[in-house]
Amino acid sequence: MRAFQLSTPGPAGRLTPADVPRPEPGPGQLLLRVRACGVCHTDLHLIQGELAPHKLPLTPGHQVVAAVEALGAGVARWTLGERVGVPWLHRACGACEFCARGQENLCERAQFTGWDVDGGYAEYVLAEADFVVRLPDCFSDEQAAPLLCAGIVGYRSLRLADVKPGERLGLFGFGASAHIVIQVARHWNCPVSVFTRSPAHRALARELGAEWAGEASEQPPHLLDRGIIFAPSGALVPLALSKIRPGGTLAVNAIHASPLPEMDYNLLYGERTVRSVANATRRDAQEFMELAAQVPLRTEVEIFALAECQAALQKLARSEIRGAAVLRP
């Protein structure tokens, strides 16, 4: 099969095409034929060496819409030809203290799609049958792909930011995840302010219902109850805190970010909370897919052929993608 692999991460890192053996499913696994794969900032962090790959060569991609091609021994829940979604969490141990608490996203032995195991920048991919998710029929393959990371982790970010219906929410950065989150927030009747440097992204935010859009250096018309940072910039933390009311919460949705700067304690004082968002659970995925169909969400996608993955990543690095980039084999 054809796959696009990373061999040498770093600032000049690139994916190269390779013909590799089609994998065979082991016990409890599915062999999946890829139908679409979303392009994520995490892929970019891996390629550029900001996140250390856990194997090399590595095939990235963790927002995979696929059809079941073959079943490993012991798999009974899925059938041949069925459409499934492969998210970031490839597997968790199921036995540690975090898994026992329902926090499998924090499992120290967890493995992640496109980081620990090969992902969806390929024609076929292996997945653990217990960790794939059913996709609502109302979404096409291309529309469903961004839901599998941008959507799921965005939903977890809303939960960890303690967003309640009707509260004022600020979104810092407006890429694939934020353009989904704003639709959920508006479904909950939350007024949303969006902070982004891109005029095109501010325009999209207004189209999707933002009551205000500007740059992070600007002040919105009202203090925010909650905020979510999507951009991998630690410098945004004090800027965001300056716009959040006492007792409010700021969630940082980034697997990698630049260092947090020294800041005035008064920005945190007043029982404000700052917390990170790390990965997501199977429960997050299931709950979010039901919500996505209920809203219903509309994902803005720019479609690229699999062979154009490098061009898609370069556009993502330049913040030139409207919504989300999706690869199609």
What's the rounded Cα separation, in Å, for the pair 309 and 287?
30
**Could you give all domains of the chain from N- to C-terminal order, each with its CATH number?**
2-132+300-328 (3.90.180.10), 151-276 (3.40.50.720)
Residues 122-147 have a mean pLDDT of: 98
pLDDT at 36: 98
| pLDDT tens-place string over residues 149-172 | 999 999 999 999 999 999 999 999
What's the rounded Cα separation, in Å, for the pair 221 and 112?
40
| pLDDT tens-place string over residues 177-210 | 999 999 999 999 999 999 999 999 999 999 999 9
Q: What percent of the chain has pLDDT over 70?
A: 100
| pLDDT tens-place string over residues 93-102 | 999 999 999 9
Helical H segments across the chain, by residue range: 41-47, 97-100, 141-144, 150-160, 176-187, 199-207, 236-241, 282-294, 309-317
Nearest CA among 250, 247, 246 for reference residue 274: 250
pLDDT at 162: 98
Token pair for residue 88? 């970031």
pLDDT at 159: 97
Q: How confident is the model at residue 113 (pLDDT cuts 50, 70, 90)?
A: very high
What is the β-pairing status of strands 29-39 and 324-328? antiparallel
